[in-house]
Amino acid sequence: MAWRPTEFLVQGELDNKMLGKVTGWMEFAGIKGKVTFDLKGNFHRDIRGSKIRFKGGASGDEPDAEGYMEGFSSHQTGEVGDITAGLPPADYVSYPYIEWYGDQNGRVVLELEIEQIEVIGKPIPACESYPISREQQNRNMVEFLGGLAKEMNIPAENAVCIGSITPIKAENQNQKASKTPGMKLLTEEIRKQLPPLYSQDSLGGKAVAYVKFFTPDSNWTWWAIEGSPVTNNDGEEIDFHFFGFVEGHVKELGYFMLSELTSVRGPMGLPIERDLYWQPRTLEEIDPELFADAK
């Protein structure tokens, strides 16, 4: 759904000391020199009015970096999306998340760990600021999807929900979208919350879904209620096995693998995403009609 160059990030700084404006720079493997920023908007309330410094895990020499970062502009202008260090008050997510909608490259997202980011200066007190408008962020997303659909000759009315998970034909597929790595679908927080397989067998509609995955360019959705690692003979984790409620061509309970979720692309070539706003709820709350008689 976006450029996600987290694995190629070396380091960077972004500054929101002048409200309404975010400036700074980043270094990426595969790009010579610094990528500079001049964006409109503000950080989230946890860091608004301050500067952030962050480090990635990449070095200057990454085998896949040059190919993936090809076409990434060295000067980014546009609109700030969600930029937060994940600190209280957590208006969005509880970990560092850096997003912008660039005039040159569309939506770009970096997801970091808390130890990778440093807040410099004192943010404006949260009580003196309003949360980032979700309505405005939704408009940013709609504009992004609409622009992507136009590039791929997909009717605008089909840009958000096309109703199929079948990949689009090669001649219409956005090549950058097709090789975009997906977001981190299984975090340590979710691992701790998610009960092991078979632990909610007897609960029926009372079983709780702890995580929701969805295709942003289709109508497929997965709600996981249980999950366990898949290991090899040496005890090393090689995959993760979920069980839950799946809504696609039909609605059904079933098993699905993390590897499947990370490899699937929707009709516009966009990867599956995790619902960052999801709060655990029962299956009968998700679909009251389907699970009305479930015990």
* pLDDT given for residue 204 in this prediction: 84
* pLDDT given for residue 216 in this prediction: 82
DSSP H stretches of helix in the chain: 65-69, 134-151, 175-178, 188-193, 258-263, 283-286
Percent of the chain with pLDDT over 70: 83
Name beta bridge partners: 53: 13, 118
- The Cα–Cα gap between 83 and 99 comes to 6
* 58-62, 70-74, 174-178: least confidently modelled range: 174-178
- The Cα–Cα gap between 240 and 187 comes to 12
121-131 confidence digits (pLDDT tens): 999 998 888 88
* pLDDT given for residue 150 in this prediction: 60
Instruction: Check pLDDT > 90 for residue 115.
Output: yes
* pLDDT given for residue 201 in this prediction: 81
Name beta bridge partners: 94: none
169-217 confidence digits (pLDDT tens): 333 334 444 445 567 888 888 999 999 988 888 888 899 999 999 988 7
For the record, the structure tokens of 154 come out as: 């997909």
236-268 confidence digits (pLDDT tens): 888 999 999 998 877 888 888 898 888 888 777
Helix and strand counts by DSSP (H, E) for the chain: 6, 15
Determine contact, residues 183/273, Cβ cutoff 8 Å: yes
Q: Are strands 35-40 and 75-84 parallel, antiparallel or unpaired?
A: parallel
**Entry pTM:** 0.60
* pLDDT given for residue 31 in this prediction: 92
* pLDDT given for residue 161 in this prediction: 40
* pLDDT given for residue 142 in this prediction: 64
27-53 confidence digits (pLDDT tens): 999 999 999 999 999 999 999 999 999
Determine contact, residues 246/222, Cβ cutoff 8 Å: yes
Q: Would you place residue 145 in the very low, low, confident or very high pLDDT band (cuts 50, 70, 90)?
A: low
